A and B are shown apart, each in its own frame.
Chain A
Amino acid sequence: MKTVALVGNPNVGKSSLFNAITGARQYVANWPGVTVSRKEGTKTWRGVELKFVDLPGIYSLGAISLDEKVTRGYLLREHPDVIVVVVDALNMEQGLFLLIEVLEMRENVMLVVNSIDEARKKNLRIDKYELEKHFGVHVVFTSAVTGEGIEELLDRILHIIRKREVHSFVNFKYQPEIEERINDIEKKIENVKELSSYKKRWLAIKALERDPEVVEILGDYNIKAPSELEAKKFKEMIAQRRYEYIDSVLREAMSIPTKKMSLSEALDHVITHKFLGIPIFLAMMYLAFSFTFDVMSPFSDLIDRGFSALGEWMRTIMGSGWVTSLVVNGVIGGVGAVLVFVPNIFGMFLALGFMEEVGYLPRAAFVIDKLMYKLKLSGRSFMSLILGFGCNVPAVMSTRGIPDYRERLITILVSPFITCSARLPTYILLAGIFFKGKETVVIFSIYLSSIVLTAISATVLNKVLFKGQPVPLVMELPRYRLPSAKNLWLYVWERGKHFLEKAGTIILISAIIIWFLGNFPSAGDNSLAADLGKIFEPIFRPLGYDWKMVTALIFGAAAKEVVVSTFQMMYGNPAEVLPSVITPYMALSFMFFVMAYMPCFATVAVIKSEAGGWKWATFSILYSLAVAYTIALLISLVGRLIW
């Protein structure tokens, strides 16, 4: 099996190509930093089995951020048979910069100019042969959307594998001063057998730049790097020369169409406007929520009626008895209580996916960066946090793209406060019962509180754990793209599927367990669930929750959706029973408790693996429980005064 590595800047379409080639269904987003670790897939082409590796997007082959380390480490140590550098047809410069770096480091490199469909629409002509001539590589034009050029790409890959041809990238020379120094170092490297697996020229260039890893390698053989001051100058000169070369090649290889104010610029002018930016951000959020609730609720009602009918029907054919109760109240009631919210959850993903796909997210990050900066975070961690509205697990995982350890850890620790879609059913249920007609406002305010809470937590953690240093925000604003229906569906389905899987596994199992606990030795006040709830009930007495609510919270720790399943089983018909058990402010306090209290099992697990160890996972659990309790207590106390 031969391996092919896909390398390139973020957001140029590597993952899209990877999907188009391997048939994998990896979600691609119109913002940088989605592929956080490498992904592999295979494709058999003309009888040859090819393994494709999709690497995180990077701008240079330094070894500073985790993304850069993953990609560079892979190219350096795993020796892929072919390296495909992917660049964006509409903006090749930064990609070609990376191409030069890769060419200096490895053999068997080829270039793919992707999104050629968009270039064509803009009447942008690119001369393939000029690129081939000046960079000494095979060049293929592709579109991951229309599939154009993919077969040619595969053929070229085979070609490179068979011929093992070594391209020479000879035209390109640095300034004489640099070339002289490169020569000096190359001569010294020549004598060291152990370094023969590296390209001499690459080692020499990296030594001049004082690349920490290379300096260490060469240090072992007494080859000295220049001083820091010199290295800074060299690094600037090297980068400058590369861009000069790229500019000169592109002047020959590209026709530049007459520039007019593009739609993208016009949109940006409004969306990232100095004064309108923040109101627009809030409006977008509100629209997303109103879509999730107002538009999707009729569908939920439909499913709700479906499950009630199913339950009734089962009762008539199965008669009464404990098996019927298990099936109707436990399984159908428990799982159905969660499934009712499928339309809302899919609606929320659709809204989020749309914002991601068009390219709004980085703009939102840009607009509110000043606020994030105050929290010693950056727009980058904001993007991770936004993912948490879907599910906290991918939010925590996506922090791998954050270069700064401290920012990364804080983002991981605060992300459970971002209220995920699994908590939504609780809000919708309780808001529907206690705040009829005002659901959207109540739920929107919970979401806003969740953001505020996340912000406060970030500040506190920064103060307590670290002497907070601001982190840089160097971020690319991608062009706006109309989302493809396919990609949008992929987005919704990938996430929604996870929710359905949970319904079939952890939620189903929890429902059955809760039914047994709730019905043995006898239903109601003498059940095991009651015993369990009553152990903890005293702790929650100041909040005004009864033991059933406490039980729901306990089981909800496994997966937050289980809170509503438990309600369904414990109360039978929560809509009728609950108003006689608690007051509206207690319901509100409960919603806030659910919003803030401990991360679910899956999230605890990723926090442990991403933050490194039980220490932070335990911290996260205890911290969020304390916060949730405090907030809920405040609401209960204030509510008692007002009502």
Chain B
Amino acid sequence: MKLSEAAVGTKVKIVSVNFQPDLQGRILGLGFVPGTIVEVVREAPFGDPRVYTVHGKMITLRNSEADLIEVQPVERSFPLSMAEVGKRYVVKAFLGGPFFMSRVKSMGLYIGSLIEVRSKFPITALVDGRIIRIGMGMAEKIMVEEI
């Protein structure tokens, strides 16, 4: 997964950093090195750039830059928006209000539902033998764990 896809508020672990040589040195120097945990702190108006905490510093990166950093989730549960295609997940929690809750219910999603992600942006997934479509905004509020 790319760092730009990690949801706000989550923590991820860096797998690789793939900038052009001219910027690579500075990015590594700032602490974006493989193995490091990065927290996605906040996003600017229009969702770009975003602030990350890395090795105690708050650093801004544009999404086009965060695209160049490969990461993986570290927390056991994370938003469905960060799920990978082809893997299976179990729903652990919903982070929305009453309106959101009634929508997920109408889609047939419950705590404990099994989800197999088929494609992304938006997410299409196999749930109880049916294919459903879940928008990325909604997917950010559905916490899942990999199984």
| A→B interface (CB under 8 Å) | 59-60, 62, 64-65, 68, 90-94, 97-98, 209-210, 228, 231-232, 235-236, 239-240, 242-244, 268-269, 272, 274-275, 277-278, 362, 366-367, 369-370, 373, 379, 470, 472-477
Query: B48 contacts which of A68, A232, A240, A370 (Cβ < 8 Å)?
Result: A370
**B45 at interface by CB-CB < 8 Å:** yes
Closest 7 CB pairs of A and B: A60-B29, A62-B25, A239-B28, A59-B29, A93-B55, A477-B58, A91-B56
Among A240, A243, A268, contact of B42 (Cβ-Cβ < 8 Å): A268
**B104 is an interface residue with CB less than 8 A from chain A:** no
CA–CA, A91 and B44, complex, Å: 24
A272: nearest residue on chain B (CB-CB)?
B42
The answer to whether the Cβ of B96 comes within 8 Å of any Cβ in the partner chain is no
A475–B45 CA distance with the chains assembled, in angstroms: 17
Whether A373 pairs with B62 at a CB distance below 8 angstroms is yes
Chain B interface mostly: mixed
What is the bound-complex CA distance between A477 and B23, given in angstroms? 19
B5 on the interface (CB 8 Å rule)?
no
Flag the segment in B31-39, B79-87, B111-119, B123-131 that touches A: B31-39
Which among A59, A64, A209, A379 has the highest number of chain B CB atoms within 10 Å? Answer: A59
A97 vs B59: C-alpha distance when bound (angstroms): 16
For chain B, the bracket of interface size reads 35 or more
For the complex, what is the distance from the CA of A71 to the CA of B49, rounded to whole Å? 29
The CA of A148 and the CA of B28, in the complex, are separated in Å by 33
Which residue on chain B has the smallest CB distance to residue A237? B34
Within 8 Å of chain A (Cβ to Cβ): is B93? no
Q: Report the tally of A-B residue pairs with Cβ distances under 8 A.
A: 129
Nearest CB of chain B from residue A480's CB, rounded to whole Å: 11
B102 touches A (CB below 8 Å):
no
Main secondary structure of the interface of A (DSSP, over half): helix
Known A369-B60, A369-B62; judge A93-B31 contact (CB<8 A): yes
Q: Specify the chain B residue showing the minimal Cβ separation from A60.
A: B29
Known: A98-B29, A232-B24. A477 touches B60 (CB 8 A): yes
The answer to whether B51 has its CB under 8 Å from any CB of chain A is yes
Which of A60, A240, A369 meets B35, CB within 8 Å? A240
Q: In the assembly, what is the distance between CA of A92 and CA of B43, in Å? A: 25
Establish whether residues A239 and B60, one from each chain, have CB atoms under 8 Å apart when the complex forms: no
Is the CB–CB distance between B45 and A64 below 8 Å? no
CB–CB B29/A474 < 8 A: no
Task: Name the one of A93, A232, A240, A370 contacting B57, with C-beta atoms under 8 angstroms.
Answer: A93
Asked if B74 CB lies within 8 Å of chain A CBs, one says no
Are B26's CB and A239's CB within 8 A? no
Chain A residues within 8 Å of B59, by CB: 474-477
B31, B35, B58, most chain A CB atoms within 10 A? B58
Say yes or no: A370 contacts B23, CB within 8 Å: no
Residue B46 lies at the interface, judged by CB distance under 8 Å to chain A? yes
Contact present for B30 and A59 (CB under 8 Å): yes
Give the Cβ gap from A227 to chain B, nearest Cβ, in Å: 12
Which one of A210, A240, A274 lies within 8 Å of B43 (CB-CB)? A274
CA separation between A472 and B44, bound complex, in Å?
Answer: 15
Which residues from chain B contact A476 at a C-beta distance below 8 Å?
30, 57-60
CB of B132 within 8 Å of the partner chain? no
The answer on a CB contact under 8 Å between A366 and B60 is: yes
How long is the Cα–Cα vector from A268 to B27 in the complex, in angstroms? 23
Contact, CB under 8 Å: B51 / A272: yes
A64 touches B25 (CB 8 A): yes
- Which residue from chain B places its CB closest to the CB of A479 in the assembled complex? B58
User: Would you call B62 and A243 a contact (CB within 8 A)?
Assistant: no
Kindly name the residue among B28, B48, B59 whose own CB sees the greatest number of chain A CB atoms within 10 A. Answer: B28
Judging by beta carbons under 8 Å apart, are B35 and A475 in contact? no
Within the complex, what minimum Cβ distance (angstroms) separates B59 from chain A? 6
Contact A369 B55 (CB under 8 A): no
Closest chain B residue to A101, Cβ basis: B29
Q: Which residues of B contact A373 (CB under 8 A)?
A: 48, 62
Residues of chain B within 8 A (CB-CB) of A379 are 49, 60
| 10 A-B contacts (beta carbon < 8 Å) | A91-B56, A228-B21, A236-B33, A268-B42, A369-B44, A369-B48, A370-B45, A473-B49, A474-B61, A477-B59
CB pair A240 B31 closer than 8 Å = no
Chain A residues near B27 (CB, 8 Å)?
Answer: 474
> Is there an interface contact between A64 and B22, defined as CB atoms closer than 8 Å?
yes
Q: Is the CB of A97 within 8 A of B29?
A: yes
Q: Which residue of A lies closest to B56 (CB)?
A: A91
Is B28 a contact of A60 with CB atoms below 8 Å?
yes
Measured CB to CB, the nearest residue on chain B to A242 is: B33
Partner of B23 from the list A97, A236, A243, A472 (CB cut-off 8 Å) is A472
Q: Is B1 at the interface (CB under 8 A from chain A)?
A: no
In the complex, A227 Cα to B94 Cα: how many Å? 48
Chain A residues within 8 Å of B28, by CB: 60, 235-236, 239
Q: Which residue of B lies closest to A472 (CB)?
A: B65
Among residues of B, the one whose C-beta sits closest to the C-beta of A362 is B60
How far, in whole Å, are A476 and B60 apart by their CA atoms in the complex?
Answer: 6
CB distance from A409 to the nearest CB of B (A): 18
Decide if A274 touches B25 in the complex (CB within 8 Å): no
For the complex formed, measure the closest distance between the CB of B11 and the CB atoms of chain A, giving whole angstroms: 14
B17 contacts chain A at the CB level, 8 A cutoff: yes
